């Protein structure tokens, strides 16, 4: 089991390494970024050390998930950041071959996030 001090140190190192990265964008046609569909990563809650990160496309399709020990790790774990998790981006490119942009919504902002809530509505409309 990791001590609290070790966990805090690892988190600080992780944030130093990934903290300056921008959200990933796949734009093979050079479209205006605002025209690209969004893939949202969000913290769907959980308990301390066991947080449920989820990926949902703007169209309501669920594209993955990951359990993270801290919300700060989710941006990397879900592939939100540039250069993070190329395996996930293979899935995203299959779903949106013409391009997409990533966004992340914290647990505290999810209920009021218009785009994420619209994706939830589309997901429910698919009969999921």
Both tokens of 2, joined, read 């990791």
User: Which pLDDT tens digit goes with each residue over 15-28?
Assistant: 676 567 899 999 99
Q: How many Cα atoms are found within 13 Å in the side-chain-facing hemisphere of 87? A: 5
Residue 48 pLDDT class (50, 70, 90 cuts) = confident
Among 11-20, 41-50, 56-65, 95-104, the minimum mean pLDDT is found in 11-20
Distances (CA, A) of 32 to 29, 35, 58, 81, 113: 9, 6, 17, 19, 22
pTM of the model: 0.86
Other CB atoms within a 10 A radius of the CB of residue 85 amount to 18
**Top-confidence residue, 78 or 12:** 78
Give the closest residue to 19 by CA, choosing from 68, 78, 82. 82
């Amino acid at each position: 089991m990791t001590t609290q001090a070790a966990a805090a140190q690892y988190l600080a190192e992780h944030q130093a390494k990934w903290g300056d990265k921008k959200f990933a964008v796949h734009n093979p046609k050079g479209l205006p970024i605002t025209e690209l569909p969004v893939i949202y990563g969000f913290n769907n809650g959980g308990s301390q050390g066991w947080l449920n990160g989820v990926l949902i496309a703007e169209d309501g399709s669920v594209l993955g998930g990951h359990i993270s020990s801290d919300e700060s790790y989710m941006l990397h774990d879900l592939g939100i950041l540039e250069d993070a998790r190329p395996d996930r981006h293979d899935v995203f490119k299959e779903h949106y071959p013409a391009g997409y942009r990533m966004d992340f919504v914290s647990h505290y902002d999810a209920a009021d996030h218009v785009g994420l809530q619209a994706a939830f509505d589309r997901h429910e409309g698919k009969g999921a």
